[in-house]
Structure 1
Amino acid sequence: MAVRERFEHDMKSVQENLMELCKKSIEALEVSFKAFIEKDIDLALSIIDNDVYINRLEEAINDRVILLIAKQQPVATDLRRLMTMVKAASDMERVGDYAVNIAKETIRIGKEPFITTVETLEQMCAKTTSMLRQIIEAFIDENTTQAKEIAELDDQVDDLYGQTISHLMHLSSVKPENVSQIMYLSFVSRYLERSADHATNIAEHLFYLVKGQHYELNN
């Protein structure tokens, strides 16, 4: 196998690892939120246990990229692609971490009934996971137009987050005895909002890959 052909084969393999990481992280977020809604402690514990696989995938991507850079000394375009994959892997690993954090809040709440509706949280989760799936598709296709549209959806998640926090702050004043659960719910809301931010980050990484410049898509 020629040197260039081998390099492209190895880069494709790294991208496959990245897609696996993305798939597992998004699934973890969805399953963790399901455990939260259903108060399924065993399911929440499984998310925490399975996070090690996501972490190892990110480590493997980082190690393989470092090895490729050291051995192949890639040209500017290839180097940009490799570094973009490293950054995207870091963002998706963080989504996996937020799934773990939601699982921990689920365990803290336990079987205690929710003191308020969690409808806005459900909307946040649906929008966030949709954004993450769409940005991965855009990343594969190197579709910057789609990436920009996805990044703009982050405003909707931010609005829902603002509504949720305002509502929970009000509850804390009228139901001070429930301050612990109010805090746990606010954390879940924050983890979903941050996960959506990582979708925007990946959109920005894609612009850097395609355009060779840094863009801030959602200030």
Structure 2
Amino acid sequence: MVKRLEFDQALDEIAQRLTEMGDTVEKALTGSIEALKNVDVEEAKRIVAADTELNQMEETITEIGTRLIATQQPVAKDLRRILIAFKISSDLERMGDLSVDIAKVVLRLEGQALIKPLLDLPRLAALVSIMIRESLQSYVDENVDLAYKMAKDDDQVDALYSQILRDLVAIMSNDTKTIAQGMLLCFVGRYIERIADHATNIGESVVYLVTGKRPELNQ
């Protein structure tokens, strides 16, 4: 009973740390988009410098999980829960890297006026922020319905991302001077879309945790 209690407490700690990682990623994404809207180089530099925090969080989760496997020798769903925590922390760390990539675009835009007011990219980021939050909530609650919602949300993200690309291509076609910045903004859209894919990966992991079968939500 004592060992089981210690095991459950360690699993709760992993879940808490994953939630903290999700909060950190969400703030990095929101901050990078705000920096982009204002071409705020100082904020972008802060986001880039803070990237090591997520790496440290991932390492901590790996250490806790590895210790549990070594000392408790979990099987079946208990083992899946730990292995999936490793996968989710990896997805979150990659989301953080992509948020940093957005901030690095801001650094490349220093001193430039934006070729258009940014409306759709922030909308895209807002949708993905919700996905980050709900994907982690689905893990904490082992909520399969919420996990499956990631697929529908990802479809919305893909549709808006396609619209953003069409709009930027139209601007670049009409004025060749906008091509360099337009391509960078296309990259930003791609980075946000990739973050959504990682949130969908988390949904897949949750379904696998609960059912033992891994669905394909990224289609």
TM-score range, shorter-chain basis? over 0.9
Identity %: 39
Matched, 1:29 2:29: yes
Structure-2 residue corresponding to 1:61: 61
For 1:159-204, what per-residue CA distance to the aligned partner results, in whole angstroms no more than 9, with x for missing partners?
A: 1111111222233322222221011101110011111111111110
Structure-1 residue corresponding to 2:199: 199
1:55/1:93 contact within 8 Å kept: yes
Structure-2 residue corresponding to 1:173: 173
Which letter maps to 2:128?
T
For 1:103-149, what per-residue CA distance to the aligned partner results, in whole angstroms no more than 9, with x for missing partners?
A: 00011112311112322112101111011112222221111112212
Unmatched tracts of structure 2, length 5 or more: none
Structure-1 residue corresponding to 2:8: 8
1:152/1:218 contact within 8 Å kept: no
Structure-1 separation of matches of 2:123 and 2:65: 36
Structure-1 separation of matches of 2:177 and 2:141: 51
Structure-2 separation of matches of 1:86 and 1:109: 35
Unmatched tracts of structure 1, length 5 or more: none
1:135/1:147 contact within 8 Å kept: yes
Number of equivalenced pairs: 219
Structure-1 separation of matches of 2:215 and 2:119: 33
Structure-2 residue corresponding to 1:96: 96
Structure-2 residue corresponding to 1:83: 83
CA RMSD of aligned residues (A): 1.4
TM-score (norm 1): 0.95
Structure-2 residue corresponding to 1:20: 20
Deviates more, 1:142-151 or 1:192-201: 142-151
Q: CA deviation at 1:100?
A: 0.5
Structure-1 residue corresponding to 2:217: 217
Deviates more, 1:172-181 or 1:96-105: 172-181
Which letter maps to 1:192?
I
Structure-2 separation of matches of 1:4 and 1:134: 28
Which letter maps to 2:124?
M
Q: CA deviation at 1:151?
A: 2.4
TM-score (norm 2): 0.95
1:168/1:186 contact within 8 Å kept: yes
SS of equivalent residue, structure 1 residue 43: helix
